[in-house]
A and B are shown apart, each in its own frame.
Chain A
Amino acid sequence: MTLSSTGVFDASAPWRLSEQVSLRDEAFGALAYHHGNRRLVFLKSRELVILVRSLDAYENVDEAIASTLPQALRDQYVKALSSLASSEIIHER
């Protein structure tokens, strides 16, 4: 499952990094590779990498963001997660 049927990323839902994805840390953030769809995706900030890795530990995305990032950055990171969801790097759990 990736995005909800409306195509809107639901930040109140629980998400996680896909089991099919390998993450490799780099100075700019990380590279993510999805072994199933063969997509290579660039995570362009360290904070995003930490957030993506932590998704599994929280009830939902909002809680993960609240615990790891300043609230002012929420929208920006929801957008980034939404784009990762469309590449199937993360999925609902």
Chain B
Amino acid sequence: MSADSLRDRFERGLSSPICLTWELTYACNLACTHCLSSSGRRDPRELSTSEAKSLIDEIAAMQIFYINIGGGEPMIRRDFFELIEHAVAQRVGVKFSTNGTRIDEAAARRLAGIDYLDAQISIDGVDAATSDRVRGAGSYDQARRAMDNLKAADFGPFKISVVMTRESVEQLDRFEELAAHYGAELRLTRLRPSGRGADVWEALHPTLAQNRSLYQWLLERPNVLTGDSFFHLSALGSPLEGLNLCGAGRVVCLIDPVGEVYACPFVIHEEFRAGNVRDGGFGSVWTTSELFRSLREPGSPGACSSCGSYDACRGGCMAAKFFTGLEMGDPDPECVFGHGEAALAAKKVSIRPTPSPDHSRRIPVAVRSR
């Protein structure tokens, strides 16, 4: 079977997701300007410990190899360790994404003792000034302290996770040096206009020229992790590492803190809601949701049908189109040939969907040092 037909097979969906993201809570002690889930305040309807454990049991039974845990800030949940230990005990690996504020020396030691656990510490600049502009004053220093603590606890190669903005994309080599300093892996992901990211995307998304440099940089470094984030850049030539397809509802999905299942982590919006794990479990949502069924149908290339690179980028990211007000058949707003910018400019009226739900805090937060 050729690689392409395997990709076709993935587009028709798998028996269980490969990449399942589970946002444990909407509560967060930071207020990053690009937060995909508009997090801040805990939702009173969030899954209880026993509901969360049942969900983990189901995930194990569905042979989902690992879960990507995020939030909000997942470590804010009092049962955080209980839940991840419950998962790894059943050989469900955990990759969790954190701002690092809760990784003191004791937490680092506890994390280091857990098998099948990967930690991703987020920063959005290689220095405090750049990173704090996105993530809030003091956040960079706290993330670095978390990294120091993980290193001291001999956690092993944790990941440094960076969203590529117009500023951070200029610091790639320095991020690489920082990762090497910690013996860490570097993980770069795409800035998406999702959640609060909708408010900053226009100002912060990389320029066409920056995206071209990023593509070259990544091509030369297949070991840099991207979570398949930049497949829209594969239209520039050789494909980047990864499946190079939109996995939404096919091999990817998201469970939010209140049990809602969305097609991917970047579309927390009513239009992409497939169901709720409280109504008959996650497996039934995955296999019977009308939304997922329609996403697994062969898509139409739409406006991209005449482009010779459609097979490389498959029209790009559904979420990026949706939240910039483009249609599904339009090019990705960051199409490497500029077709997305043209499509955006051609819209007579730009109606961008409001992200829903919004758990942002109403009062700006200041990060205290602990």
Contact = CB atoms under 8 A, between A and B. Distances in A.
A38 B118 CA distance: 10
Contacts, number: 37
Interface residues of A, number: 15
Interface residues of B, number: 15
B1 A38 contact: no
B111 to A, nearest CB: 16
Secondary structure of the A side of the interface?
strand
Interface stretch (B14-22, B207-215, B332-340): B14-22
A37 to B, nearest CB: 11
A45 B118 CA distance: 30
B91 interface: yes
Given A27-B9, A40-B18, A35 B93 contact: yes
Contacts of B16: 24
B116 A35 contact: yes
Contacts of A35: 65, 91, 93, 115-116
Contact of A44 (B6, B115, B116): B6
A27 B91 CA distance: 23
Nearest to A42: B6
Contact of A33 (B1, B15, B66, B118): B66
Contacts of B118: 38
Interface string B235-250: 0000000000000000
A25 interface: yes
Nearest to A29: B1
A26 interface: yes
A26 B1 CA distance: 14
B284 interface: no
A26 B91 CA distance: 19
B239 to A, nearest CB: 15
Contacts of A38: 66, 93, 118
Interface string B1-34: 1000010010000111010000000000000000
B21 to A, nearest CB: 16
Given A33-B66, A35-B91, A38-B93, A24 B6 contact: no
B356 interface: no
Interface string B79-107: 00000000000010100000000000000
A32 to B, nearest CB: 9
A24 B15 CA distance: 9
A24 B9 contact: no
Contacts of B354: none
What 4 A-B pairs come out closest when comparing CB atoms?
A33-B65, A24-B63, A44-B1, A28-B9
27 contacts: A22-B63, A22-B65, A22-B91, A24-B15, A24-B16, A24-B65, A25-B15, A26-B9, A26-B14, A26-B15, A27-B9, A28-B6, A28-B9, A29-B1, A31-B18, A33-B66, A35-B65, A35-B91, A35-B115, A38-B66, A38-B93, A38-B118, A40-B18, A40-B65, A44-B1, A44-B6, A45-B1
